[in-house]
Amino acid sequence: MTDQDPNQDSSQDSNSQDSNSQDLSGPDLSQDPSPDHTAETRPTSAPGLGGSASEQLERMLAAAGMGAEAEVPEGFRSGFVTFVGRPNVGKSTLVNQILGQKISIVSDKPQTTRHQIRGVLSRPESQIVFVDTPGIHRPRTLMGERLNDTATSSLEGIDVACLLIEATAAMGPGDRYIAERMPKNSVLVLNKTDAATAERIMSQLSKAASFEFAEYFPISAKTGDGVDALVEYLVSRLPEGPRWYPEGEVTDAPEPFRVAELVREQLLAVTREELPHSIATRVSEWEWPRIRVEIIVERDSQKGIVIGKGGSVLKEVGIRVRRQLPPGAFIELHVTVDKDWQSKAQSLERLGY
């Protein structure tokens, strides 16, 4: 079952566990792996991307062997910017647009983003760490509660908080609920202006003025219109600080997490409306070029949808995922039923939620 936007209702079901599988063959394993991707065992569960920005910085400094006295280049600005909002307002699309590449998966289905995903924009004079978050919604399951906690914790200790709302949808109680919990120096980002009239955009900005935020930016994450102006403003709000990530590093999400997310993204794309949102994915084995991905569903009936007739869905998902990986990748997809996993703490913890 799917957790809902604060303006929608939903219902709930019950509990048990079962397992089954379907494998998908990939390219010939006799191919020599690329030297850059030789067998290396890496973390297989979703990364611990939660915690406040200050806690994240402490972890990064410790990992880099840096102390609080890390050298600060003269005039260099750096810091954390978080994007929050209801489901499907375009937070992940905006992060991807700013960085010029996909670090967060995207879908038109709610709760596609389930972790804090960090993306890094490095420039000669600044570095912004963008934090993409799950959509804040009315939770109906334990997982929904944890996703909300993940999103709201991103507001702790950051430098700039941005609330995204849609130019194309009425501003509802969910938007106001989030706005009331944000710092007053936050930024309002009105997204999807490419699909709205000028009158609609002005109306939405006028209504959002009641939030009394520091600044308001109409943008289109899809086309990039207005995004440069937003980024320049965010840079101006950052304090002077060190470069937290090496140049060229765009995200700190481990590769197994990224592959699992790609599988989930393509499952949502291939099955469209047939597949409920109650699926999860994790890499269970990583020995390049062989990657085994576990797909978890809540019902036996969902397992059939995921596999498809004669394995057709898994085959198409595997093809789409391999196109986004280095040549030679061999993807094995394994489908498991874990009844009502979204409501079971043990299952959630195993999946990194």
Q: Report the 10 Å Cβ neighbour count for 237.
A: 16
Q: Per the omega criterion (within 30 degrees of 0), is the bond before 289 cis?
A: yes
From 212, 222, 324, 204, select the one nearest 264 (Cα to Cα): 324
CA–chain centroid gap for 292, Å, is: 21
Q: N- to C-terminal Cα distance for the chain?
A: 16
Q: Report the 10 Å Cβ neighbour count for 135.
A: 26
HSE at residue 135, side-chain half, CA atoms within 13 A, is 29
pLDDT in tens, the chain (353 residues): 444 444 433 333 333 334 444 444 343 322 333 333 322 322 333 344 444 554 555 555 554 444 444 465 789 999 999 898 888 899 889 999 999 998 876 665 555 555 568 899 999 999 999 987 765 545 455 555 665 566 566 667 789 999 999 999 999 888 998 899 889 899 999 999 999 999 999 999 999 999 999 999 999 999 999 999 999 999 999 999 999 999 889 998 889 989 998 998 899 888 866 565 678 899 999 999 999 999 999 888 889 889 999 999 999 999 999 999 999 999 999 999 998 877 777 777 777 76
CATH fold of 18-44+254-337 reads GMP Synthetase; Chain A, domain 3 (3.30.300)
pLDDT value of residue 327: 93
pLDDT value of residue 284: 94
pLDDT value of residue 26: 40
CA distance 344 to 143: 8
Ramachandran bin of 224, using left for φ above 0, alpha for ψ from -120 to 50, beta for the remaining angles: left
From 5, 75, 10, select the one nearest 236 (Cα to Cα): 75
Three-state DSSP string of the chain:
CCCECCCCCCCCCCCCCEECCCCCCCCCCCCCCCHHHCCCCCCCCCCCCCCCHHHHHHHHHHHHCCCCCCCCCCCCEEEEEEEEECCCCCHHHHHHHHHCCCCCCCCCCCCCCCCCEEEEEEECCEEEEEEECCCCCECCCHHHHHHHHHHHHCCCCCCEEEEEEECCCCCCHHHHHHHHCCCCCCEEEEECHHHCCHHHHHHHHHHHHHHCCCEEEECCCCCCCCHHHHHHHHHHHCCECCCCCCCCCCECCCHHHHHHHHHHHHHHHHHHHHCCCCCEEEEEEEECCEEEEEEEECCHHHHHHHHCHHHHHHHHHHHHHHCCCCCCCEEEEEEEECCCHHHCHHHHHHCCC
The pair of structure tokens assigned to 108 is 């038109």
Q: Where in the chain is the domain with CATH 3.30.300.20?
A: 18-44+254-337
CA distance 350 to 45: 8
pLDDT value of residue 165: 95
Contacts of 319 (CB under 8 A, 6+ apart): none
CA distance 155 to 345: 24
Q: Where in the chain is the domain with CATH 3.40.50.300?
A: 53-237
Overall CATH class of domain 53-237: alpha beta
